[in-house]
Chain A
């Protein structure tokens, strides 16, 4: 995802002179092409995230489009008030980009686990929250957030995620992409777990069970239509995110379903429980620890299917 993001950003910056890239002393080995090609529009602010967000807002308020880039929680939490007041309240054209969503930096420890970012940024007025599912979606999302006037958060995974979409999807902010179809249930996925969702869907399809998979790359604004259609047309709704079960995709979908009135559909949030992980291990290892591996997910979904069938 990282490569897709930077490649697209370079293409965009070529034709759009408003684009600035600000980094918080991170991005070694990946930001250099931008720095060399557009030195006047690149800035390493140092290890100073409050300044990163404040400067970003100041630059954006002169009519520029600013990307602020760092890893995991760094471009978000330390400077959350700058994001709220300086970026969001002013509708500044700042695009906050975090590499390392979820457990991407697993073994680096709790400080590097970005597991509440979607919930917190989703609560901010004016903020668009995007977590693309594969490199193709990253390319499209990067273009879309530049075209969108106003604050955006782009949550990326890491480098090396597989391509899920065989061709570039018809991408619109706030419009889920249907990756697989079926009526047994719907897996609503956000971010890099899309590959896991698709894998589980394919394993189930091999057993003759067709499930729908939605890539919900935009958490805010949520594609309520797609959620309600899933509730109407399939027999259960399951959300999947590498994020706390509180307030992120699961929270957003739950709010939508709960307020829909007439719809009564079995619903389950799959994500990270609201605890800090002190386990040591890779992204795959930590995912498996909290039930986010394909195997665990398959078990969970199959038991849910049994429950649904007995209803």
Chain B
């Protein structure tokens, strides 16, 4: 679907810049996970572009919304966003995944303003987010907490410990976004450890669940603006996404969890991303 409204166009333009910059970073650093980044980009473009209450000049501002990228391997997109928002200079992106660089290959908070917490081992984000949301709730603050999980991360028992906790404590200031691209490290989710019925599972745990097309900017923005869907319940947005979204030969391919594009692939991918 082509973006049409003004809101869609601005998010689409942001997402386009993010993908192209990520592709350059991954190519120059010879790093992996480009497919895992591309499935998150449209969601994060809207979240950071339009939803989160942040102040790049005060990354430690106590009243900021918290956003945790629990799938820390998709950090390249987050770094690009933070640079675009002004948390740090754009030039830092050249220091991704290189000797002596500033930006690690999994989301790392040390020395990087705007990265809320360091992630990389799956299954940690939701508990951290729940702790933050609990403080906001109990101490009558109004900051909100967002955490993006991968689908593979829903294999982790720790994810479900926290999933059980948050509705019980009525954390309606907490939102989980599941990047449901349906491919994990060793194969499709269906082949490895099927999560279905995923929405029913989260619903049964007490979450208010909304399923969206994670590449439709209107649906994404509507979902974020509807939070909390139900007072007293945390929200789970299951975003159906496409691994490698935006580059035809990367889409829905496990290979691009790992592969770095060669020169020709890079050229082709960039022309797709920067073309119309």
Contacts and interface: CB of A to CB of B under 8 A. Distances in A.
Interface of A: 40-41, 43, 45-46, 48, 50-51, 53-64, 81-82, 85-86, 89-90
B165 A51 contact: yes
Nearest to A20: B135
Q: Chain B contact residues: over half helix, strand or loop, or mixed? A: helix
Contact of A58 (B120, B127, B161): B127
Interface string B183-203: 000000000000000000000
Contacts of A50: 123, 127, 157-158, 161
Contact of A51 (B118, B127, B133): B127
Nearest to A40: B138
Given A46-B164, A62-B62, A57 B131 contact: yes
A58 B128 contact: yes
Contacts of A46: 161, 164-165
Nearest to A45: B165
19 contacts: A41-B138, A46-B161, A46-B165, A50-B127, A50-B161, A54-B130, A56-B131, A57-B127, A57-B128, A58-B135, A59-B135, A60-B131, A62-B135, A62-B136, A63-B62, A64-B135, A82-B124, A86-B127, A89-B110
Nearest to A57: B128
Nearest to B134: A59
A39 to B, nearest CB: 9
A57 B127 CA distance: 9
Nearest to A48: B161
B132 interface: yes
B129 interface: yes
Contacts of B164: 46, 48
A46 B133 CA distance: 18
B127 A59 contact: no
A222 to B, nearest CB: 26
B256 to A, nearest CB: 26
B121 to A, nearest CB: 6
A82 B135 contact: no
Interface residues of B, number: 29
Contacts of B136: 62
Interface in B86-131: 109-110, 117-121, 123-124, 126-131
Contact of A90 (B62, B118, B133, B157): B118
B129 to A, nearest CB: 6
Contacts of B178: none
Nearest 8 Cβ contacts at the A-B interface: A58-B131, A54-B127, A51-B161, A55-B131, A58-B128, A50-B158, A48-B161, A59-B131
A191 to B, nearest CB: 30
Contact of A48 (B62, B120, B124, B165): B165
Contacts of B158: 50-51, 54, 82
B107 to A, nearest CB: 11
B124 A85 contact: yes
Nearest to A84: B121
Given A48-B165, A89-B118, A90-B117, A55 B127 contact: yes
A59 B131 CA distance: 5
B254 interface: no
Interface of B: 62, 109-110, 117-121, 123-124, 126-136, 138-139, 157-158, 161-162, 164-165
Contacts of A81: 121, 124
Nearest to B135: A62
A55 B157 contact: no
Contacts of A59: 131-132, 134-135
B62 A61 contact: no
Task: From B109, B127, B131, B135, name the one whose CB has the most chain A CB atoms within 10 angstroms.
Answer: B131
Contacts of B128: 54-55, 57-58, 61, 86
A86 B162 contact: no
Given A46-B164, A54-B162, A85 B134 contact: no
A46 B169 CA distance: 12
Contacts of A63: 62
A89 B129 CA distance: 16
A144 B127 CA distance: 27
Task: From A45, A62, A63, A81, name the one whose CB has the most chain B CB atoms within 10 angstroms.
Answer: A62
A65 B157 CA distance: 26
B62 A86 contact: no
Task: From A48, A55, A60, A64, name the one whose CB has the most chain B CB atoms within 10 angstroms.
Answer: A55
Contacts of A61: 117, 128, 131-132
Contacts of B135: 58-59, 62, 64
A46 B162 CA distance: 11
A176 to B, nearest CB: 33
Nearest to B169: A43
Given A56-B131, A58-B129, A86-B117, A51 B138 contact: no
A55 B124 contact: no
Task: From A58, A59, A82, A86, name the one whose CB has the most chain B CB atoms within 10 angstroms.
Answer: A58
A83 B220 CA distance: 34
A185 B64 CA distance: 58
Nearest to B126: A54
A45 B129 CA distance: 14
